[in-house]
Structures are given as structure tokens and as C-alpha cells.
Amino acid sequence: MDTSGLTQQARSRSRARPKATLSPQACTTCGADGAADSNDSESASVPSYVYALGRVEARFPRVSLEKEFVQAAGRGPAKGQTDRQMFQSVIAERKNRYLARQLCWVLTIQGLDTYLLQPRDPADFDLLVEALRPEPSPMDIDAVVGVRGPIAPPGLCNGLSIPIVGFDQIYSFDRQALMGAIPRPDKTTAKAFEATANELFDRVIQLTDNAGNTDDHRALNYLAMRYPAIYTTVADAYTRNASLAAVEVQPSRLSGARNIVDVVFSFTNRSNEFTEKSFVRVDVTEEFPFLVGRMSTYYDR
């Protein structure tokens, strides 16, 4: 199964959003050569990658910028629009690119400010603008892939001291679009499969401290977004009257020059408590995780 199709299908089912061509300053502190946290003991030349699921928000770092935005909004046709619709429409206009360039772009995870986002390529500010929904919903999802940099200085975003992430990709869509893009097994009804997929997705994103910056969480977030087989495997277990007992990530025996992890799904039969396991291998060596092998039976050794 093509693992790249799930996210692409989900994006195509999301609401169409206006595109803008913006030209901001690129992040100068988020390259691979300076990606490590300045407080870390590791060498600053060792990159720290991020594959995080959250929501992108835009904020004003200074009162002067907010006042300038109000003047720009006054020059546009904002009559009848809500505040959020007006904000998105103003920022999306090409002539207002200077505003988008100076905003603080924050990724929140589970309601907490987690990363300050900056593009590694100036053209990628388009991705931030597209992440602004004129009618936001709690079901909105933004997947951010990038390199973790230092903690933001207090003066950068109105005193917000969180890590900077220089991103290379942002996928923005809602959960309904994602779930609708997952192929449903023949043995499972649409309603049952939707419940299964939502439960598994919640389980992944609600893991303790899942900020998408560890190998374990990057692998899980990647699978949740790009590998439909994890959903069909869980749905098949439910049809056999088994519960999803655990989801674990452990170093793979194949690790050597590459950093490979095994993501293991444990299922316990509800009648006889017999446990069976399935797993999939993911390479998390570099910024973009990828599959090493497809879902298969796991045997304890």
C-alpha cells in the first residue's frame, strides 16, 4: 500500500483555502548545523528532528504590528466577516506579506504552546498561511516536519520561550478528511471502522509528552498520518474480539548504521486473555521517517 497517499488524499478532501505567495525571511537558526538546543549537552552539529501533530496559530509579537494589521484590515472588504475570517483573509493577501513575515507562528500540542515555527525556505510561508482556517474546528490537524533549533529568545515572540522549529513541510487538514482517506477493511462496517480509527489516533496523539521530537513519537506520528495498515490491523483485531492492550516502540535488531525502531501493537483476546502482537519497522534516522517493512506478526525473543 502506498504510504504517501493517505496524507495526500486527506488534504484533497479538506476545505479549499486561498493560497498566497509570500516572501519572508528564512529561519537562520534552524538549519541542520545549528539544530540542537543550546542547553543540550550534545554537540550543536547533531540535528534534532521533529514530526509533530498539533495546530498552527498566528500571534502578534508587538503592539505596533497589531496596530498595523488593523489598518491593513480597514483597507479590505471585511464587512460581514467574523474576526477569524477577516484575519485569515487579510494575511492571505499578497500585498500583506510583510505582516505574515513578522507574525509569531506557534504550534500548540494538546493546548500547550510547544514550538515556534519558522520556514527553512522563504516560499514555505505559504504553508503557514494555508494552516490558518477561516472557520477553525477542534478537529483540525497540522502535521509539522522539521528540525528543532534553540529556545526562542524572550524578545522574539513577546516573551514566549519555546524551541524554534525550522520546518520543511506542513500538512494541514481536518480529522474527518484523514479518517475518510483510510481504506476500510471489507469485514468492518463504516461506523465501526471510523470509531476504531479515531480511537487509535487519539491514543497516539495523547501519549504522555508526545511533542514529536523523540524517535518513538516521531515513528508513531508518522504511522498515524501515513500508514493506513495500523488502522486496519486494529480493526481486524476488534472483529476477533481482541482489545488493543499496548502500543510500544523499541529499538530494532536491524539498527546499525541506520536508526530503526519496531512499533509493536499488542492485542489481548477478551475471552481467553491470549496475547498476540503485530509490528512494523520505521527508519527514523533522518528528518523524514519511512517504512522498512510492512505490518507483520511479532514474536518475542
* 247 neighbors 202 (Cβ within 8 angstroms): no
Q: Report, in this order, helix, strand and coil percent for the chain, each rounded to 5.
A: 35, 30, 40
Model confidence pLDDT, tens digit, residues 11-52: 544 444 333 322 333 444 444 443 334 444 444 567 899 999
Mean pLDDT confidence for 78-99? 88
Residues 6+ apart with CB under 8 A from 96: 72, 90
Question: What is the DSSP code (8-state) at residue 231?
Answer: H
Neighbour count for residue 134 (Cβ, 10 Å):
16
What's the whole-number mean pLDDT along residues 167-171? 96
| 10-19, 92-101, 226-235: range with lowest mean pLDDT | 10-19
Q: How confident is the model at residue 184 (pLDDT cuts 50, 70, 90)?
A: confident
Phi, psi for residue 245 in degrees, rounded to 5: -80, -35
Three-point CA angle 15, 181, 7, nearest 5°: 75
Helix (H, G, I), strand (E, B) or coil at 236: helix
- pLDDT per position as a tens digit, 209-218: 899 999 999 9
Model-wide pTM > 0.85? no
pLDDT (average), residues 224-249? 93
**Cα dihedral sign, 259-283-199-189:** negative
Q: Which of 13-27, 141-155, 221-235, 261-275 has the lowest mean pLDDT?
A: 13-27
